[in-house]
């Protein structure tokens, strides 16, 4: 059961300077998520922000940033839908906006981007948290060392469209075509195509993503759309694939290297390329024809 923490949010939105803010980012050591005694007795396997005992631990300044990162790693609605509360607690402890989790090497911003995933997170709360982090100077260019993904890649992969729009609208210097080695050198548009993220694809195209760019295997985003035979034969999935194909196909622009202009090529040149010359006899459909 997910319980909203609105009663805590108003207080948390104005971050208190409990500790002096660090001027440089660090990687925090790996830690386990704390549990209150009540949750331990119930043998609950996760920190529950809806539990008063767990919230008391979270508000305790002796609870470390590493422990809060461990809470954020828990992939369940109880934690992901309260991402802003958790991030605020990290910042209250003097963290730099670009601090990283030692286990995943993800930044606070990257965690916030994925926290809006449909079915697990809260897109509105994730978007507000991302806005807050960008206002504080979070670097969108940073990549996770293990996945090679930026905040933009995470927003696309988890199909959090409002977060994607905020990233592209707020940071005018963001590299929308930055490659990701986790996806064979593909861009965000490749990731969106592979995961059938239609709305994310529309947003990326709107902000100028290159539909012709190729990954390490020379595939364009269009080439990364799953084949209908590769997915379950569900009508809605087939419709999505067809929609995505049409969307990307309509935007593909062929370069001068893709299409060759033959208008200035003479007949003699064509004959020479075929190793023929005037006067040679060739057979077409069983009949002899002489070139004059």
| CA distance readout (Å), 87 to 118, 155, 271 | 20, 17, 71
Query: Does 254 have pLDDT greater than 70?
Result: no
pLDDT of residue 147: 97
Whether residue 116 contacts residue 163, with contact meaning beta carbons closer than 8 Å, is answered with yes
Pick from 82, 158, 68, 94: which is nearest to 124 by CA?
Answer: 82
Length of the chain: 292
Could you tell me the pLDDT band of residue 5, with boundaries at 50, 70 and 90?
very low
Could you tell me the pLDDT band of residue 261, with boundaries at 50, 70 and 90?
very low
Whether residue 264 contacts residue 277, with contact meaning beta carbons closer than 8 Å, is answered with no
* Mean confidence (pLDDT) of the chain: 84
193 or 173, which is more confident: 193
Residue pLDDT, tens place only, 113-166: 999 999 999 999 999 999 999 999 999 999 999 999 999 999 999 999 999 999
Residue pLDDT, tens place only, 10-32: 344 433 445 678 899 999 999 99
Distance CA(91)–CA(104), nearest Å, equals 19
Distance CA(281)–CA(48), nearest Å, equals 86
Distance CA(197)–CA(249), nearest Å, equals 15
Query: Does 280 have pLDDT greater than 80?
Result: no
Could you tell me the pLDDT band of residue 237, with boundaries at 50, 70 and 90?
confident
Residue pLDDT, tens place only, 48-73: 888 999 999 999 999 999 999 999 99
pLDDT of residue 2: 41
Query: Does 8 have pLDDT greater than 50?
Result: no
Could you tell me the pLDDT band of residue 43, with boundaries at 50, 70 and 90?
confident
pLDDT of residue 133: 97
Name residue 288's beta-bridge partners.
283
Q: Which residues contact 191 (CB under 8 A, 6 or more apart)?
A: 153, 156, 157, 180, 183, 197
Three-state SS at 100:
strand
Instruction: Quote the tokens at residue 229.
Output: 């035979």
pLDDT of residue 14: 38
Q: Which residues contact 208 (CB under 8 A, 6 or more apart)?
A: 176
Query: Does 292 have pLDDT greater than 60?
Result: no
pLDDT of residue 282: 57
pLDDT of residue 165: 97
pLDDT of residue 253: 60
Residue pLDDT, tens place only, 188-234: 999 999 999 999 999 999 999 999 999 999 999 999 998 877 666 56
> DSSP letters along 45-74, please?
SS--TTSHHHHHHHHSTTS-HHHHHHHHT-
pLDDT of residue 70: 96
pLDDT of residue 259: 44
């Amino acid at each position: 059961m997910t319980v909203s923490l609105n009663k805590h949010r108003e207080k948390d939105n104005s971050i208190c300077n409990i500790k002096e803010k660090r001027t440089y980012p660090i990687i925090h050591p790996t830690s386990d998520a704390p549990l209150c005694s009540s949750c331990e007795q119930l043998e609950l396997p996760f920190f529950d922000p809806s539990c008063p005992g767990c919230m008391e631990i979270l508000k305790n300044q002796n609870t470390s940033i590493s422990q809060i990162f461990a809470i954020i790693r828990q992939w369940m609605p109880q934690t992901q839908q309260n991402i802003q509360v958790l991030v605020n607690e990290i910042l209250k402890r003097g963290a730099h906006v670009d601090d990283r989790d030692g286990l995943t090497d993800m930044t606070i911003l990257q965690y916030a981007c994925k926290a809006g995933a449909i079915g697990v997170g809260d897109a509105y709360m994730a978007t507000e948290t991302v806005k807050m982090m960008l206002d504080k100077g979070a670097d969108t260019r940073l990549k996770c060392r293990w996945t090679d993904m930026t905040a933009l890649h995470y927003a696309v992969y988890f199909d959090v469209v409002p977060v994607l729009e905020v990233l592209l609208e707020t940071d005018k210097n963001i590299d929308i075509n930055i490659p990701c080695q986790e996806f064979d050198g593909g861009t965000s548009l490749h990731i969106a195509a592979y995961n059938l993220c239609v709305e994310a694809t529309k947003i990326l195209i709107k902000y100028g993503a290159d539909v012709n760019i190729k990954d390490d295997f020379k595939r364009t985003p269009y080439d990364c759309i799953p084949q209908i035979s590769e997915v379950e034969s569900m009508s809605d999935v087939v419709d999505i694939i067809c929609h995505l194909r049409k969307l990307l196909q309509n935007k593909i622009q062929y370069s001068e290297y893709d299409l060759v202009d033959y208008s200035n090529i003479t007949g003699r040149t064509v004959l020479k390329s075929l190793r023929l010359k005037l006067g040679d006899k060739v057979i077409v459909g069983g009949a002899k024809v002489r070139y004059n």
